Structure 1
Amino acid sequence: MSNTHQERWTRVKGRLRAEVGEDIFSSWFARMELEGVDSDTVRLSVPTRFLKSWIQSHYAERVLACWQGEEPLVRRIDLSVRSAGVRPAAMAIRAAGAVAAVTVRAEPSAGPIAINGHSGPVGMPAASSAGQDAVGGSPLDPRLTFDTFVVGRANSLAHAAAKQVAAARRGDPVMFNPLYVHAAVGLGKTHLLQAIAWAGNAGGERRVLYLTAEKFVYGFVSSLRTQTTLAFKEVLRATDVLLIDDLQFLQGKSTFAEFSHTLNAMIDAGRQVVVAADRPPLDLENLDDRVRSRLAGGLVVEMGSFGEDLRLEILQSRVACARTHHADFDVPAPVLSFIAKSVTHNGRDLEGALNRLLAHSKLTGQPITMELAEREIRDLVRPQEPRKVKIEEIQRIVARRYNVSRGDLLSSRRTANVVRPRQIAMYLAKTLTLRSLPEIGRRFGGRDHTTVLHAVRKIENLVGNDVSLAEEIEAIKRELQE
């Protein structure tokens, strides 16, 4: 594949990111790869059939249009699935004016992946084979183990908890159940969950199943279609350790209900559940209150943003890994320090920066210099985003300033010394976060959204007429944003 094609692919991804936004791009397109370009056909691949199906249904024309924006001669895109032992299924997207005609070739059913390295859970009765087909585990990346996970202050607690889960033996009392890890994109959630799965595979004693939320949805929908839901339930609940990644992508009322039943059954049976998401349980608005409560009742751990020291350690670790395959790959220490200081968003951007340097080194044979690094990673150097304010922080700081407890703010007390701070906290939650009025009301003791709206309007009116109150609120805002 020529450098020109790769450069066009990079620009196409840039177009997609600009059109659909960072969150959607990270969810659906980050794992799409260019396989080749033949005449008027572009061959792309994704790691799962669910991902292929979703892109086919929702973004087929957009992907084709972005390619045609870079190369007008492209008339067809083949999208295949990168799954070991599975003949790729291709999605053909043909340009025909404003309409993209989509054709799909039939593909054989893939067997389960990543259940203790077996084709299905150990000891599973033969009657459950249909359920196994529906709930085959998501593929595991061999690079994502505990050995390659770099520990720092931002992730040490999550790492320690994950190691505790991985080290447990069948029959041991479950210490953290569920273990709930949340963090922004690219901070290592998936790495930790897959590391637990690899550790389980190595031990061989426990049945370990790693599923992305999209795979859970796919398996459940498939079991409904094939009338094998009982087998689906059996396979899930016969595992000793169930790992669910990207819970925020769980979709569908019936799927939520099935996840709730599975979660309760696993915990009640003393089986380990580990969940990862991009936000804490109370912020997952699509989940039922009982599920949120069950998730929050375990150990909830946040993985914070990487500091510069941790970013440098990650880069050094990745360079060492790269040298096992490319012995002559050398990145001077000042260049690594520059990348660690400049690329601050997440670990995937750090990987991307190193991959660009590695590609340049292998393709041109030229040494890596500071000038080269500055040129290659300039689009990864993002402006610092303003600090995200959490409702819990607002409640804590407002309670401290007005000498009440956080419990008072969430209570039904109506005394003047509690009502005003509560209204101020609601007002700040509405103006400093993206949470909806119903969500804010729920986070303030289950209040109705009209109560929140009244509080917001009340404080807005007072701020316009009371200079001292306005100054107090500005002081609270500064403290929250420091």
Structure 2
Amino acid sequence: MEARAMTPIHSDREEWDRIKLRLRVELGEDAFTSWFTRVEFESRDGSCVFLSVPTRFLKNWLHSRYRDRLLVLFREAFGPIDQIEFAVRSAMRPVVAPRDVVTPLPTAPTRAAALQTPVVRVVAASTRHDDREEDVLAGSPLDPRYGFDGFVEGRSNSLAFAAARRVADARPGESVGFNPLYIHAAVGLGKTHLLQAVAHAAKAQGRRVLYLTAEHFMYRFVAALMAQSAIAFKEALRGIDLLLIDDMQFLQGRQVQQEFCHTLNSLIDGARQVVVAADRPPADLETLDERVRSRLAGGLLVEIAAPDVDLRRRIVGHRVEVARRASPSLEISAAVIDYVAENVVSSGRDLDGAVNRLVAHNQLTGQDISVEMAELALRDLLRTREPRKVKIEDIQRVVSKHFNVSKADLLSARRTRTVVRPRQIAMYLAKALTPRSLPEIGRRFGNRDHTTVLHAVRKIEEMAGADRGFADEIEMLKRLLDG
């Protein structure tokens, strides 16, 4: 007798949920929410998986960029999967003509069959231009979580936040005093979040808003040229109230740039607002036409700087609260939040990725989220500090000599003021100038707990902020060690 295939323990949709969790961890929060939050699992038929998406652009993007990775993940979950079919959900629903023309629905169709069966769209000729315009104004996908309420404000981004709020709160045709608004920052510092927050707020006021990535703009323009509908594309673009272009550094092609420049001029001259984001100021975008750079530089240029430790701590705390709302049983201590904020220093996106990774490790392995677990799970995110070559032994030697105490005193249990303060300074310098974690620093200072090191770091930061002379002394020690 042949052995019958075992019934899967998990349903197809549960496996799809697991695949999405892996994609979230692999790609990071921004990429995942941009491309996968609106992807729906429809069915599986033999060696083919059927997925649906809301737009043709998203269908083409996923097929060209992520199809191979999805195939690998589906094969791990389901076995021999040879094909992934993407369908546009809007195309799955027949459109009824204004007159008595109705496309009969099949009786009791399966979802897989519906996806494979061509759908005939019956649309009145007078509505075709409106459909093309609405398709243009659909824009790039917006993440519903990217609102102003979810943006954590600090010293490094306060000006960009205030300018974005001013644009979002303006009424149609109202001048905000700067146009265009140009926000530039390194990767992962909140440009996309701010642009999408503006889009959400302006749409809520009834304004005609278009949010596009530069790649999406190029794709739409080239598609319009191929479909001989470029005029309708231009008219739709110039009829909006607010245009937001993200990742401007990727805008390429002479004809595309010329069209963008014409659109930019038309909107600004017509008192319509434009907001642009890029990873560097206009003058540094060498691939852009000089006229485009000049027009972009004529508005308000705002830079978002890297977050300081206080902002990083608040960003991590906010992300943890969001994760707790999704998983109420999740437990992440203040010590872990402090560890992530102190050690992941490159960008807010890396902070998001760190929290996502800790949550995924907890959910997939059942391991409690501790500082030790975070130290192992996030070790690749901590490499941004590795170029610093200062050693803890060097710090102990310099501090001992400067304060006339022995290295043995720094490692001892003595708690006199003449020893405690140099020890705290040495711990602070070890945290600031080396890639070592709090637990490792504690072990190198007489097997102390990581909370002792964290207290020392905060104490020295507080004293340096209140006493200029003390801050200068700390900077002098840093120069000695860097030299």
Alignment TM class, shorter chain as reference: 0.5 to 0.7
The one-letter code sitting in structure 2 at the alignment partner of 1:177 is N
TM-score, with normalisation over the residues of structure 2? 0.60
Alpha-carbon contact 1:128-1:234 (below 8 Å) kept:
no
Matches within 5 A, 1:33-432: 49-50=56-57, 53=60, 56=63, 63=69, 76=82, 78=84, 80=86, 127-204=129-206, 206-363=207-364, 367-384=368-385
Letter in 2 for 1:160: A
Question: How far apart, CA to CA, are the structure 2 residues paired with 1:213 and 1:200?
Answer: 20
How many Å separate the matches in 2 of 1:221 and 1:343?
A: 40
Q: How large is the RMSD of aligned CA atoms in angstroms?
A: 4.3
Instruction: Give the conservation status (yes or no) of the 8 Å contact 2:146–2:194.
Output: yes
1:456 aligned partner: none
Gaps of 5+ in 2: 1-13, 94-114, 122-126, 389-478
Deviations 1:38-76 (A, max 9, x none): 88778889886446535655786x7589879999x7663
Give the conservation status (yes or no) of the 8 Å contact 2:55–2:89: no
| Separation of aligned partners in 2, 1:85 and 1:52 | 12
The 8 Å contact of residues 166 and 199 in structure 1, kept in 2 or not, is answered as: yes
Q: What is the alpha-carbon distance in structure 2 between the residues aligned to residue 173 and residue 29 of structure 1?
A: 32
Which SS does the other structure have where 1:294 is aligned?
A: helix
Q: Deviations over 1:272-315 (max 9, x none)?
A: 00011112111222211011000011111111112221111011
**For residues 304 and 108 of structure 1, do their structure 2 counterparts lie closer, same or farther at Cα, with a shift above 3 Å needed?**
farther
Mark the structure with the bigger radius of gyration.
2
Q: Mean Cα displacement is larger for which, 157-166 or 249-258? A: 249-258
Give the conservation status (yes or no) of the 8 Å contact 2:91–2:119: yes
- The 2-side partners of 1:164 and 1:298 are apart by 14
Identical pairs, percent: 50
Aligned-partner Cα distance in 1 for 2:208–2:91: 24
Q: Secondary structure of 2:331's partner? A: coil
CA deviation after TM superposition for structure 1 residue 328, in Å: 2.1
Aligned to 1:122: none
CA contact (8 A) 1:210 1:244 kept: yes
Deviation at 1:376, TM superposition (A): 2.1
Instruction: Check whether the contact 2:195–2:244 (CA below 8 A) recurs between aligned residues.
Output: yes
Contact 2:40 2:52 survives alignment (8 Å): yes
Provide the C-alpha distance between the structure 1 equivalents of 2:89 and 2:71, rounded to a whole number of angstroms: 30
Query: Within 2, Cα distance between the matches of 1:336 and 1:109?
Result: 54
Q: What whole-Å deviation, never above 9, does each CA across 1:60-106 have from its counterpart, x for those lacking one?
A: 6x7589879999x766352647x775659xxxxxxxxxxxxxxx989
1:210–1:242 Cα contact (<8 Å) kept: yes
Quick one: which amino acid aligns to residue 53 of structure 1?
A: N
Q: Taking structure 1 as reference, are residues 58 and 188 closer, same or farther at Cα in structure 2, changes over 3 Å only?
A: closer
Greater relative contact order, per chain length (Cα 8 Å cut-off, separation 6+) = 2
Residues 28, 215 of structure 1: CA spacing in aligned structure 2 closer, same or farther, 3 A cutoff?
farther
Aligned counterparts of 1:109 and 1:300: Cα–Cα separation in 2: 49
The count of aligned residue pairs is: 348
Q: CA separation in 1, counterparts of 2:257 and 2:51?
A: 32
Change (3 A) 1:53 1:7: closer
Which AA in structure 1 matches 2:158? S
